[in-house]
Amino acid sequence: MDQSRPIADGVPFDQEYRVFPKCWGAEYTAAGEARFRLWAPAIDTLSLCLADEIVPMTPSGAGWFELLATSLAPGTPYAFILPDGTAVPDPAGRGLQSDVHGPSILVDPTAYRWRHGAWAGRPWSEAVIYELHVGTFTEDGTFAAAAEKLAGLADLGITMIELMPVAAFGGERGWGYDGVLLYTPHPAYGSADDMKSFIDTAHGLGLMVMLDVVYNHLGLDGNHLPSYAPVFFLEEGTPWGPRPDVSQQVTRDFIVENALYWLEEFALDGLRLDAADRIERDKSEVQFLEDLARRVHETFPKRHVHLVVEDSRNITRLHERKEDNSPPLYDGVWNDGYHHLIHAWATGEHGGLFAPFARDFWPRVGKTLATGFVLQGERIAGKGDEIFGEPSGHLPPVAFVNFLQNHDQAGNRGRGERLWSLIDADLGERLMAMLLLAPQIPLLFMGDEFRSKGRFFFFSDYPEGLRQNDPEERLQQARNFGTEDLAIHEIRDPNAPETFAVSKLDWDEAETGTGRTARIAFRNLLEKRCRHLMPLLKNVGGGVGHLLLAEDGRLAVDWQLGESRWQMRGNFGEAPATLPPVHGTTVHVHADDTEADIRDLSEFRPGSLIVVRS
């Protein structure tokens, strides 16, 4: 950031460009001049191949090598040359010449001029998240093509885009959770400037952009760090690749700087940390997740920067609030239990990871809506004496990100079905209304707005011999995600280009009669959320949910949101039921009855849902 510019509320006026000065890799220091820096403690000598010239680098202590070069133009290819002659790309480079096995290219971060540089974000309470995969969101699969769809999403009422990981990974296509160059946008999606333009366009439409980042491991294809810095990783890895040793300061700084780099240089509004429970196993006095969050908030005190974790532990300490109900660490957590519970009830799939949620459906649906996690300190059959989860009712509802599906839930099923192919349309409408009109933060997967039935598979471009290609492992994972009857011959080859192609979102679906009807209903629900619910969620505290009734498909939950009471009543059973009464202004009704009939909750008909604000 150019600190010489005037600042109002921490945001430079008409900030045209953003620069984050990294410790690793290539950095412009002046016009035509760049410093190259790499930590390579396992080798004694290191050279730099700059264009076609190989130049020795200077050791600078503690495993670091440096070189200052002049007369350089943006786009100049470069690579680090190890003692055995192997050329490796910059692990913190901003661009690649071709792929993760080839040279990096020198990128001038000041080249992009921001059109909406004074954007400071939006409060977390206004988040309606839309998860998308750049490569399959459009036919072209690029940042530029995705940007053309943003106006339509903003018009529907979406307020935040969540990008699946974009850090460069091996091959052309993949989900992105096997990134190896954490600072480099994947070349198939476009350049760093293309990504910035996508984010800039989103900001101009009032959309926040969050990036999914993977810090619990690096991928196996194209990860060259072990050849010159093996101590970067722990001996104990993960099924997907080696795990960074974040108890080591150099490793921790590399990852924390990566977070700050994305947030500053790309003006992102937040980060979602993948599998955070697998990161936090270090023995440091200050745990990595806490350290990262504090450094982010210290760096951007005047911007709305939001941090979210995926964390299977169902713990609360990362999400506690201050006296003013603001989060000192993380805004929210993906509430997988909500999805698993709803999915198990709606589809009848009770095996695999849904097994712990295949009982006491409605009492637990009521509990998660009122108090957060489904698992709040209980044992799971077959898991021994381990206690899962912690009581979470003291947290505000906005600490929980709820969803009906995401990339994992469709793509890991083996057949790639979305929820809308597994349940009837009327039930889908009620579940969508319950998601969007509950006080938790809702997340949608691309295509949910028109109830896409297009398939979304796990796809990749791995080289032969990589263990991720094992079809038996893919089959076991698919069965764990509900498709217990799946046979191995049904497993698609994730490396086949056709698997990637068929996973692309079919935008023609949105223009069918069903698609248009779904989008209208979706827009109406988000208009109601924006008008009636969002104002009540600003600075909301914990302990606000009250479960009145939840059994046999009957559901009654109230939330005390400041001076207003938000009331939800639903009958998901098969017979008329008596539910606790509601008082106030009707916000939403799902039923064939008139409003006067449905407010008489002594004979609340099956398939009905009502939301009332008093």
Q: What is the mean pLDDT of the chain?
A: 94
Alpha-carbon distance values, 230 to 169, 170, 288 (Å): 19, 20, 20
- Which tens digits make up the pLDDT trace of 274-283? 999 998 766 6
What pLDDT, on a 0 to 100 scale, did the predictor assign at position 483?
84
3-state secondary structure of 8: strand
In this structure, which amino acid lies at residue 172? E
90 vs 95: CA distance, rounded Å: 9
Phi-psi map region of 238: left, alpha, beta (phi>0 left; psi -120 to 50 alpha): beta
327 vs 137: CA distance, rounded Å: 32
Tell me the catalytic residues. 274, 310
Q: Which of 111, 88, 121, 93 is nearest to 17 (CA)?
A: 111
Lowest-pLDDT choice from 141-155, 179-193, 282-296, 591-605: 591-605
- Going along the chain from its start, the domains and CATH numbers come out as 21-105 (2.60.40.10), 125-218+254-278+288-331+398-530 (3.20.20.80), 544-613 (2.60.40.1180)
User: DSSP labels for 418-486?
Assistant: -GGGTS-HHHHHHHHHHHHTSSSEEEEETTGGGT----------PPTT-GGG-HHHHHHHHHHTT-TT-
pTM: 0.96
What whole-number percentage of the chain has pLDDT above 90? 86
Q: Which two tokens stand for residue 179?
A: 């990134």
Query: Is 7 a residue whose pLDDT tops 50?
Result: no
Q: Which of 522, 587, 517 is nearest to 156 (CA)?
A: 522
Q: Which two tokens stand for residue 65?
A: 């090598």
b or e along 72-84 (b: 16 or more beta carbons within 10 Å of the residue's beta carbon)?
bebebbbbbbbee
What pLDDT, on a 0 to 100 scale, did the predictor assign at position 239?
87
Per the DSSP assignment, residues forming a β-bridge with 27 are 35
Q: What is the DSSP letter of 23?
A: S
Query: Is 5 a residue whose pLDDT tops 60?
Result: no
- Which tens digits make up the pLDDT trace of 283-299? 677 899 999 999 999 99
Model confidence band, residue 386 (pLDDT cutoffs 50, 70, 90): confident
What pLDDT, on a 0 to 100 scale, did the predictor assign at position 473?
85
What whole-number percentage of the chain has pLDDT above 70? 96
Model confidence band, residue 10 (pLDDT cutoffs 50, 70, 90): very low
Lowest-pLDDT choice from 256-260, 391-395, 602-606: 602-606
Q: Which of 440, 464, 444, 468 is nearest to 542 (CA)?
A: 440
What pLDDT, on a 0 to 100 scale, did the predictor assign at position 407?
97
What pLDDT, on a 0 to 100 scale, did the predictor assign at position 2?
35
What pLDDT, on a 0 to 100 scale, did the predictor assign at position 282?
61
Angle at 411 between CA 409 and CA 412, to 5 degrees: 70
Query: Is 578 a residue whose pLDDT tops 80?
Result: yes
Q: Which of 181, 359, 176 is nearest to 261 (CA)?
A: 181
Q: Count CB atoms within 10 A of the CB of residue 543.
A: 12
602 vs 614: CA distance, rounded Å: 20
550, 371 Cβ separation under 8 angstroms: no
Q: Which two tokens stand for residue 550?
A: 């939840």
459 vs 361: CA distance, rounded Å: 33
168, 538 Cβ separation under 8 angstroms: no
Residues 325-329 have a mean pLDDT of: 97
34 vs 20: CA distance, rounded Å: 14
What pLDDT, on a 0 to 100 scale, did the predictor assign at position 217?
97
In this structure, which amino acid lies at residue 431? L
Query: Is 22 a residue whose pLDDT tops 90?
Result: yes
- Which residue would you say has higher pLDDT here, 357 or 474? 357
- How far the first Cα of the chain sits from its last, in Å, is 47
Q: Which two tokens stand for residue 340?
A: 């698993």
What pLDDT, on a 0 to 100 scale, did the predictor assign at position 523?
98
Residues 178-182 have a mean pLDDT of: 98
What pLDDT, on a 0 to 100 scale, did the predictor assign at position 285?
76
- Which tens digits make up the pLDDT trace of 310-319? 999 999 999 9
Q: Count CB atoms within 10 A of the CB of residue 28.
A: 19
User: DSSP labels for 532-592?
Assistant: IIHHHHTT--SS-EEEEEEETTEEEEEEEETTEEEEEEEE-SSS-B------SEEEEEESS
For residue 582, give every residue at least 6 positions away whose Cβ sits within 8 Å of its Cβ, in sequence order, or none: 567, 569, 599, 601, 610, 612, 614
Q: Which of 32, 109, 105 is nearest to 69 (CA)?
A: 32
Query: Is 3 a residue whose pLDDT tops 70?
Result: no
Lowest-pLDDT choice from 390-404, 425-439, 588-602: 588-602
Query: Is 11 a residue whose pLDDT tops 70?
Result: no
In this structure, which amino acid lies at residue 395? L
- What is the 3-state composition of the chain as percent helix, strand, coil, each rounded to the nearest 5? 30, 20, 50
Per the DSSP assignment, residues forming a β-bridge with 68 are 35
Query: Is 337 a residue whose pLDDT tops 60?
Result: yes
Query: Is 489 a residue whose pLDDT tops 70?
Result: yes
- Which tens digits make up the pLDDT trace of 407-440? 999 999 989 999 999 999 999 999 999 999 999 9
- Which tens digits make up the pLDDT trace of 51-102? 889 999 999 999 999 999 999 999 999 999 999 999 999 999 999 999 999 9
